[in-house]
Chain A
Amino acid sequence: MQEMLLTGRGGEGVVLASQILADTFARAGYWVQSFPEFKAERRGAPISAFLRWDADEPIRRRYKVRECDVLVAISASPPSARSVAMLRPGGLLLVNRETRFPHRGDYRVARVPGSQVARRNRILSAEGRPMGNVAVLGAAVRLLLPDGLDFLEEAVRARMGTLAEPNVLAAREGYRLCTTQHTIGSDTPYEPAEAPPPRPPLPPFAVSLTDSRVNHTGAWSVERPVLLEACNVCGLCALFCPEGAMRRVNGAMEIDFDYCKGCGICEAVCPVRNAIAMEEVPA
């Protein structure tokens, strides 16, 4: 049995990628198991998914993957030191990067410019970011199941509906552009994961000890509302805002961007034309 950890961020299709790859292995006759790490998922938060596959036997274990043979970083940003530390000696690290992975360790490194492939094929998220997940899968299949590209294409078609065609192209490109680094040990070692700060003792009741106001949900937003000319300050949006980020102050609506998470509910409930619109958060 082989075990894989896939990492990325909410919205990058990490879980879907693990399912497509499971499907690919299954089509090739393997027993598979794919599952996400269940958390309160949201866009932008770190996400993990796991994959197990075995040529001979059904997979019966039901616990999380703690060590893996393969680590696949779906995000273009480098995998966390904690994820890299989960790789077994001699394992394989596949990164979504154009440039060489600059760290050495007891693992092989392969790379694929997944985000670029996605951009070329116009596979973009709602926010316009390239979705490199399937291109990375093309590379994974080249490394782990070299005769499996057709199975990957079938799995993509089976699971991606109208988005299948560009993704099939991306899978093929990823397969083709995957390169393996042979120069292990030439550069700096990956910094060991910084020891996490000691956890504060668990509160006696399941109530946070900190004031909820320190949780600045504004950091989640990729979009934010702007108030326009026609706003008549009826206050309806403030009633619906799930963060309590809107208030009527001195005859005008005020938005607290420390807490506005960019959900767009205010815009959706506003009954007035040209009163409010969502715009991208300035970088």
Chain B
Amino acid sequence: MTPELPRGRTVLTGNEAAAVAAVLARAQQIACYPITPQTLIVERLAELVAGRDDVVFANLDSEHSMFGYALAAERAGSRCFTATSSQGLLYSHEQLHRASRERIPLVAVNVNRSIVAPWSLEPDLADSISQRDTGWVQLYCSSGQELLDSVLCAYRIAEEAMLPVLVCAEGFLISHTAEVVDVPSQEQVDAFLPPFRPPEDWLLDPRRPRAFSGLPEPNDYATYQHNVAEAHDRTRELLAEVAHDFAAAFGREKVASLEITGDRAAETAIVTIGTIGETARELLTDDEPPLVVRVHAYRPFPADELAAALEHVSHVCVIDRAPAFGAPGALGEDVRSCGIPATDIVCGLGGSDVTPETLRAALARSRVESPERAAVYLVGGA
């Protein structure tokens, strides 16, 4: 018997919220391979769709096959869902590139987990941040509610932009944390998210065999890459549009690209991503509160919005939750690419706890050290 979906104000873990969102989005095919800390998403999905003949639940032999399956199923016209973590995402790397360049509107959840070596099941963002150049739209969440909401929005974004969307949520901090999540009704979701109707020219149709991604002339190859870049550029506006529609449909605000809290006239800003953005809000009651900017949409990077938000700030401290080797951290680089001088602090690696104290220490370090070519690491329980 298929269990009922939770409904209304209910207590769910992040993994459960992601699974519920996939069902509400009417994913027609679910491609699975387990990996901690994501496994509970697919386990819960297996329960939720058991016995339903309108959903294909496919167990694959690896993450690489899982993405391959999902891309093909999308191409054949099914809305798909998949989820992974860490090594699983890395193992899928070439499929990720293929997804964006084939313009496949797949939605996947990545439960962030740090990368071996050494082994760790704990979160940092290195797995998905290191996929930033694969052409996926990347959304980073800071709560179970935002994870559920972002999965729903992700299908709208993906299918309108014809780009894949990776919805990221830190392992354990979100995936295994049970909290209040407001689950919308199926009717509400159906009104917000129309059925998947991809363009005819793109669809795999056995009655009309055609060559897919065949060898084009070099200049045509270049044009197709440019098309992906343009689709990303258009997605900046789309993100705002979808967030606006979401708020209208569900009566709940949705962050589009950036969440900005505090006084824009503050002297200092913290720019960060993921759950650290929530923790950073505790600094808003400090004597000299910083402006807190949480990046939700990491790709496409909201450069103009960020530059506008930081216009009056004289000191910017970027918190990167992913290691940086031989160059500054990824988020730090992105911020500087907007013409904003910023100091890059790396912390929270491998699940190291990030508290308001950590962030105060980061701010202090960022004032005395401002290397241009490297990130400052805050390690050893600072």
Give the interface of A toward B (CB within 8 A).
Answer: 39-40, 202-213, 215
Contacts and interface: CB of A to CB of B under 8 A. Distances in A.
Nearest to B227: A204
Nearest to B223: A202
A207 B210 contact: yes
Contact of B216 (A206, A209, A211): A206
A142 to B, nearest CB: 36
B201 interface: yes
A212 B251 CA distance: 49
Q: Sort A-B residue pairs by CB-CB distance and give the 3 closest, nearest first.
A: A208-B211, A212-B209, A205-B202
B102 interface: yes
Contacts of B213: 206-207
Q: Kindly state the interface size class of chain B when it binds its partner.
A: 20 to 34
A99 B227 CA distance: 51
B224 interface: yes
A40 B224 CA distance: 19
Nearest to B211: A208
Contact of A207 (B162, B201, B220): B201
A205 B216 CA distance: 12
Contact of B211 (A39, A202, A204, A212): A212
A205 B203 CA distance: 10
Contacts of B102: 205-206
B214 interface: yes
Interface string B198-232: 01011000001111111110001001100100000
Contacts of A211: 208-210
Report whether over half of chain A's contact residues are helix, strand or loop; otherwise say mixed: loop
A39 B210 CA distance: 20
B103 interface: yes
Contacts of B202: 204-205, 207
Nearest to B216: A206
Interface of B: 101-103, 162, 199, 201-202, 208-216, 220, 223-224, 227
A47 B214 CA distance: 19
Contact of B214 (A202, A204, A206, A213): A206
A210 B209 CA distance: 8
Given A40-B215, A206-B102, A213 B209 contact: yes
Contacts of A39: 215
A204 B226 CA distance: 11
12 contacts: A39-B215, A202-B223, A204-B227, A205-B103, A205-B201, A206-B101, A206-B213, A206-B216, A206-B224, A208-B212, A211-B209, A212-B211
B209 A204 contact: no
B308 to A, nearest CB: 33
Contacts, number: 43
A210 B214 CA distance: 12
A114 to B, nearest CB: 31
Given A206-B102, A207-B211, A211-B210, 11 more contacts: A39-B215, A40-B215, A205-B103, A205-B162, A206-B213, A207-B201, A207-B212, A208-B212, A212-B209, A212-B211, A215-B211
Contacts of B223: 202
A39 B217 CA distance: 9
Contacts of A202: 220, 223
A203 B212 CA distance: 11
Contacts of A212: 209-211
Nearest to A39: B215
A48 to B, nearest CB: 14
Nearest to B220: A202
Given A202-B220, A202-B223, A204-B199, A209 B210 contact: yes
Contacts of B224: 206
B210 A204 contact: no
A205 B209 contact: no
B231 to A, nearest CB: 11
Contacts of A208: 210-212, 214
A209 B103 CA distance: 16
Contacts of B214: 206, 208
B354 to A, nearest CB: 42
A82 B302 CA distance: 48
Contacts of A203: 201
Contacts of A209: 201, 210
Contacts of A207: 201-202, 210-213
A204 B220 CA distance: 11
A48 B279 CA distance: 62
A205 B210 contact: no
Contacts of B201: 203-205, 207, 209
Nearest to A203: B201
Contacts of B103: 205
Nearest to B198: A205
A211 B207 CA distance: 9
Nearest to A40: B215
B222 to A, nearest CB: 11
Contacts of A213: 209
A64 to B, nearest CB: 10
Contacts of A206: 101-102, 212-214, 216, 224
Nearest to B202: A205
Nearest to B214: A208
Contacts of B210: 207-212
Question: Which residue, of B102, B103, B199, B211, has the highest number of chain A Cβ atoms within 10 A?
Answer: B211
A211 B215 CA distance: 16
Question: Which residue, of A39, A202, A207, A210, has the highest number of chain B Cβ atoms within 10 A?
Answer: A207
Nearest to B207: A211
Question: Which residue, of A39, A206, A208, has the highest number of chain B Cβ atoms within 10 A?
Answer: A206
A216 B214 CA distance: 16
A205 B211 contact: no
Contacts of A210: 210
Nearest to A215: B211
Contacts of A40: 215
